[in-house]
Amino acid sequence: MRIIMLGAPGVGKGTISSELTKLYNIPQISTGDILRSEVSKGSEIGKKAESFMKGGGLVPDDIIMECVESRLSEDDCTNGFILDGFPRTIAQAELLKTLLHRKSLSLNAIINLEAPEDLIMRRLTSRRTCSNPSCQAIFNIYTKPPKRDGVCDFCESPLVQREDEKEEVIMHRLRVYKENTLPLIEYYKNEPIFFSIPCIDPKETVDGIRRRLDS
Ligand code: ADP
Ligand code: ZN
């Protein structure tokens, strides 16, 4: 099963993708996670990507394609994969098309997750991450609060708001999404494997996707 997961930041791409990972036994490939790990390793890619990420802008396509291509050639992708947070621009979608063609792979689904903007804002500003780099547990002040305010349940390190989850940066990320990524819906919407689905309650969303994919 090869899937592209689309949707605004905070819509729940990560949550839904990780559920589908278990159901279909395929890895979730998040370009955001790959980049964050490169940044924390201090690799060449990480150094190049860091400044773009801090401000909530997009990392250049050549860096992204390098990450995606090398990740797709790993063994665990033989069963398929879920692309989460990629492609993010029409240019990336074109480059992905070429890459898949070259590897003789076709996609099974292009899923667009939808949620109202106020819900998205609330979700994005309520996330808190453990500041211990080897833990990085994620909490949510409304839906998954830590046992003690501001302290990680697992390692007792302070919880912080990710630099790119501060309110101004989020506003900017949503603008970048509207300008660069929303046009992807137009780009894909006539493909028979494309569909949109609401993402308010994650369980309902996963059930809806399953019905669609298993039919
Ligand atoms: P989000 O919560 O917005 O989905 P991600 O964790 O996917 O955020 O990505 C974090 C940051 O990494 C983005 O703000 C962007 O700077 C960079 N990034 C991730 N994926 C891409 C991509 N496909 N193209 C360009 N930049 C990307
Ligand atoms: Zn922790």
pTM given for the model = 0.86
Query: pLDDT 10s digit of each residue in the chain, 215 long?
Result: 999 999 999 899 988 999 999 999 999 999 999 999 999 999 999 999 999 998 888 999 999 999 999 999 999 999 999 999 999 999 999 999 999 999 999 999 999 999 999 999 888 899 999 999 899 899 999 889 999 999 999 999 999 998 878 888 888 889 999 999 999 999 999 999 999 999 999 999 999 999 999 98
Tell how strand 28-30 and strand 81-84 pair up. Answer: parallel
Task: Check residue 143 and give its pLDDT.
Answer: 87
Task: Check residue 83 and give its pLDDT.
Answer: 97
Structure tokens at 140: 């949510």
Alpha carbon separation from 180 to 61, 130, 176, 189 (Å, rounded): 12, 30, 6, 16
Task: Check residue 168 and give its pLDDT.
Answer: 87
CA 126 – CA 202 distance, rounded (Å): 17
- CA 20 to centroid of ligand 1, rounded, Å: 20
CA 7 – CA 107 distance, rounded (Å): 17
CA 59 – CA 122 distance, rounded (Å): 25
Task: Check residue 89 and give its pLDDT.
Answer: 94
Rounded to a whole number of angstroms, the distance between the first and last alpha carbons of the chain is: 13
Q: Is 127 in the pocket of ligand 1 (CB under 6 A)?
A: no
State the catalytic residues.
13, 88, 127, 162, 173
The domains located in the chain, with CATH, are 2-115+180-214 (3.40.50.300)
CA 78 – CA 30 distance, rounded (Å): 17
DSSP state of 87: -
Q: What backbone torsions phi and psi does residue 113 show, to the nearest 5 degrees?
A: -85, 140
Task: Check residue 215 and give its pLDDT.
Answer: 82
Contact 195, 183 (CB under 8 A): no
Task: Check residue 162 and give its pLDDT.
Answer: 85
Closest residue by CA, ligand 1 atom 5: 32
